[in-house]
């Protein structure tokens, strides 16, 4: 399919955009659950004007089971953002983004356990490489102290939650277009995060103007410009090309963290990260699901 704009340029812009997610979070002084709640609430508000009559009709036509799956999908997305955003307070940007990006390997494992879907030999090798690389990165962070390792665990739990979000989304979005699915899921996730923020005594009201600008940047740059562009490029490029470009986020985030935050990347993170990215590439090559994440 021909495009007036260059889809490869779109991939580059999208990769750079999503790489800024962790940077914006690190620049905010707000509590992690507050950051995540405002990010998704603002994103929902930006999407609402685009909800048309046909889109709303799709939502009204949902039965109880489909509506329940939609709500569950939103709750898993809330858990994903809660754990991953919190992880950045304990570990480096490079480690956090690497660990949260392992979800393709987790999806393959979960799909086999729950749905009996077989993984190709290439995919099995990819899963093993992803796990091995994660061990190398975690081992290097262990030398930095328990706090860094705890952050790695939070980021990994973010990947686990995102895996649940993707698997539930298979059924929840079957009869919905992208806007009809993502807008209510974002809204549910934002409400869930707000409840969690209150439960953990993270004040939603004590927000500076600077933080509000950061939240807006999170909603526009990585969430809408990044992931929306990825989805747009799927109309013009093979899914395998898009899925490989998606692996640029950990590299881009690590470079930005080094340049803007002064965070060096340890050799163990570089070595383990390279193994992780190769493993994810092998695992994710057959398919791609670009539902919103970091």
pLDDT tens column, 67-81: 999 999 999 999 999
Residue 31 makes CB contacts below 8 A (sequence gap 6+) with 197, 200, 202, 203
- Is residue 292 one of the residues assigned to a domain? no
Q: Do the beta carbons of residue 94 and residue 273 sit within 8 Å?
A: yes
- Is residue 171 one of the residues assigned to a domain? yes
Residue 285 makes CB contacts below 8 A (sequence gap 6+) with 122, 240, 243, 244
pLDDT value, residue 241: 67
pLDDT range class, residue 191, cuts 50, 70, 90: very high
User: Does residue 269 carry a pLDDT above 80?
Assistant: yes
pLDDT range class, residue 290, cuts 50, 70, 90: very low
- Is residue 141 one of the residues assigned to a domain? yes
pLDDT value, residue 29: 94
Q: What is the largest CA-CA distance in the chain?
A: 56
How many domains in the chain? 1
- Tens digit of each residue's pLDDT (9 = 90 or more) over 210-241: 999 999 999 999 988 887 787 777 667 766 56
Average pLDDT of the chain is 86
Mean pLDDT on 147-166? 91
In this structure, how many other beta carbons lie within 10 angstroms of the beta carbon of residue 21? 29
Mean pLDDT on 111-139? 84
User: Does residue 122 carry a pLDDT above 70?
Assistant: yes
Does the pTM surpass 0.85? The reply is yes
- Is residue 294 one of the residues assigned to a domain? no
User: Does residue 193 carry a pLDDT above 60?
Assistant: yes
Q: Which residue has the higher pLDDT, 169 or 212?
A: 212
Residue 204 makes CB contacts below 8 A (sequence gap 6+) with 34, 37, 38, 194, 197, 198
Q: Do the beta carbons of residue 39 and residue 204 sit within 8 Å?
A: no
- Is residue 233 one of the residues assigned to a domain? yes
- Is residue 13 one of the residues assigned to a domain? yes
pLDDT value, residue 218: 96
Rounded Cα gap, residues 187 and 130, in angstroms: 32
Tell me the residue range of the domain where 215 lies. 7-284
pLDDT range class, residue 156, cuts 50, 70, 90: very high
- Is residue 248 one of the residues assigned to a domain? yes
CA angle 48, 186, 29 (to 5 degrees): 105
- Is residue 1 one of the residues assigned to a domain? no
């Amino acid at each position: 399919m021909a495009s007036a704009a260059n889809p490869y340029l779109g991939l580059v812009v999208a990769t750079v955009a999503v790489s800024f997610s962790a940077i914006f979070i690190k620049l905010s002084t707000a509590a992690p659950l507050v950051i995540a709640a405002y990010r998704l609430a603002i994103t929902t508000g930006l999407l609402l004007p685009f909800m048309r009559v046909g889109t709303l009709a799709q939502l009204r036509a949902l039965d109880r089971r489909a509506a329940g799956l939609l709500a569950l999908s939103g709750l898993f997305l809330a858990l994903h953002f809660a754990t991953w955003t919190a992880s950045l307070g304990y570990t480096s940007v490079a480690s956090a983004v690497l660990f949260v990006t392992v979800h393709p390997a987790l999806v393959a494992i979960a799909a086999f356990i729950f749905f009996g879907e077989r993984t190709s030999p290439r995919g099995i090798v990819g899963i093993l490489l992803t796990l091995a690389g994660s061990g190398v990165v975690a081992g290097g962070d262990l030398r930095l102290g328990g706090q860094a390792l705890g952050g790695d665990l939070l980021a990994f739990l973010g990947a686990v939650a995102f895996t649940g979000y993707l698997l539930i989304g298979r059924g929840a979005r079957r009869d919905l277009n992208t806007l009809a699915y993502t807008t209510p899921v974002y809204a549910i996730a934002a409400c869930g995060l707000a409840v969690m923020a209150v439960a953990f005594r993270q004040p939603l009201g004590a927000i500076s103007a600077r933080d509000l600008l950061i939240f807006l940047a999170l909603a526009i740059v990585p969430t809408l410009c990044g992931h929306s562009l990825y989805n747009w490029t799927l109309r013009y490029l093979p899914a395998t090309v898009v899925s490989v470009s998606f692996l640029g986020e950990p590299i881009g985030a690590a470079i930005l963290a080094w340049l803007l935050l002064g965070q060096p990347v340890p050799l163990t993170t570089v070595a383990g990260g390279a193994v992780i990215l190769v493993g994810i590439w092998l695992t994710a090559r057959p398919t791609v699901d670009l539902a919103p994440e970091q």
